[in-house]
């Protein structure tokens, strides 16, 4: 029995993997106190069209599989083991995407320094290297409208995201989504790393060597084809499995 199967024995896989994502985001210093969110589709046994999200007040390094809150698209809390409720801003952003994109299993939002810095640039993310090129023409942008408490903003978030799986919330932060928790997490790691590299380049005294549109598109297509072939062959997500092993080693209680 592999690690992922062993982790799923105490709680549903959805809860365990989402709790791992919270701990790993904290592990990599990508959390923001008790703010920002990661959500995942809830097991069907917990509610139709329901999703899991962190209880308001817990740091990401405190989240466990059993403390996650179950909430439906309308904002009704179905299960709140910790008893702290949720952050309303998190509901606005995450419910919008879960309602409009049924193929999406996980939505991840961060406020990292590098992500907010690039989100504050008119140019957005530039195709500067092998980390940023895969996002070329595959990255959405959504203009800042203040703290995300207005439910009417959900339509604009969904319209701006379209069919993409990564978005820069201008003057705000980063957002990724995936068909699995692992996919959303890996995409965020890659996007934030691309932002950090851009900040490093733009902070230097050297002239940025921006890739041509043709080369950036070619590189992005290369990665897409590799991912599609990997999935078509039914191969496991080896990188996410490696992250799960790290999480279990450093945060042994996350799946409790």
Residue 53, token pair as written in the block:
């999200």
CA angle (238 as vertex; 90, 46 as ends), nearest 5: 40
Of 227 and 40, the structure prediction assigns the larger pLDDT to: 40
Is the predicted pLDDT of residue 2 greater than 60, yes or no? no
Mean pLDDT for 169-184 is 97
Q: What is the mean pLDDT of residues 240-249?
A: 97
Indicate the pTM of the whole model. 0.93
Element (H, E) at 154: helix 153-161
Residue among 80, 83, 81 at smallest CA distance from 71 = 80
Distance from C-alpha of 226 to C-alpha of 224, rounded to nearest angstrom:
5
User: Domains along the chain?
Assistant: 11-250 (3.40.225.10)
Residue-averaged pLDDT of the chain: 93
pLDDT of 190:
98
At residue 45, the pLDDT reads 92
Beta bridge partners of 232: none
Predicted confidence (pLDDT) at residue 19 exceeds the cutoff of 60: yes
Which position has the higher pLDDT, 255 or 75? 255
Write down the pLDDT at residue 1: 43
pLDDT at 220 over 70: yes
The string of DSSP letters for 216-256 reads: HHHHHHHHHHHHHHHHHTT---HHHHHHHHHHHHH-TTTT-
Q: How many CB atoms lie within 10 A of CB 130?
A: 13
Does pLDDT of 157 surpass 70? yes
- Determine the angle formed by the axes of helices 153-161 and 88-100, rounding to 10 degrees: 50
pLDDT at 4 over 60: no
In tens, the pLDDT along 54-82 reads 999 999 999 999 999 999 998 899 999 98
Nearest Cα to 179, choosing from 89, 240, 110, 88? 240
More confident residue, 87 or 244: 244
Calpha distance 109→12 (Å, rounded): 23
pLDDT in tens, 181-194: 999 999 999 999 99
Residue 147: name the closest of 98, 108, 76, 93 by CA.
Answer: 93
Scored b (16 or more CB within 10 A) or e, 74-90 reads: eeeeeebebeeebbebb
Q: Is 70:50 a contact under the CB 8 Å cutoff? A: yes
Q: What is the pLDDT of residue 181?
A: 98
Most confident of 41-55, 128-142, 219-233: 128-142
């Amino acid at each position: 029995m592999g690690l992922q199967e062993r982790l799923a024995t105490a709680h549903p896989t959805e809860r365990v993997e989402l709790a791992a994502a919270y701990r790993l985001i904290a592990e990599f210093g990508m959390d923001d106190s008790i703010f920002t969110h990661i959500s995942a589709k809830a097991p069907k046994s917990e509610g139709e069209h329901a999703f899991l999200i962190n209880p308001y007040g817990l740091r990401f390094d405190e989240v466990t599989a059993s403390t996650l809150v179950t909430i439906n698209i309308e904002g009704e809390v179905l299960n709140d083991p910790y008893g702290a409720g949720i952050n309303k801003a998190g509901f606005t952003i995450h419910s919008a995407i879960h309602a409009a994109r049924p193929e999406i299993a996980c939505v991840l939002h961060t406020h990292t320094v590098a992500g907010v810095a690039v989100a504050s640039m008119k140019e957005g993310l530039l195709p500067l290297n092998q980390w940023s090129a895969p996002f070329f023409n595959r990255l959405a942008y959504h203009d800042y409208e203040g703290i995300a408490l207005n439910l009417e903003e959900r339509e604009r978030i969904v319209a701006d995201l379209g069919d993409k799986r990564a978005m820069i919330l201008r003057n705000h932060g980063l957002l990724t989504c995936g068909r699995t928790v692992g996919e959303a997490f890996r995409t965020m790691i890659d996007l934030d790393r691309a932002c950090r590299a851009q900040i490093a380049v733009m902070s230097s005294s050297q002239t940025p060597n921006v890739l041509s549109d043709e080369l950036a598109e070619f590189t992005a297509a290369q990665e897409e084809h590799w991912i599609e072939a990997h999935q078509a062959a039914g191969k496991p997500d080896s990188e996410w499995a490696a992250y799960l092993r790290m999480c279990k080693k450093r945060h042994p209680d996350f799946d409790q």
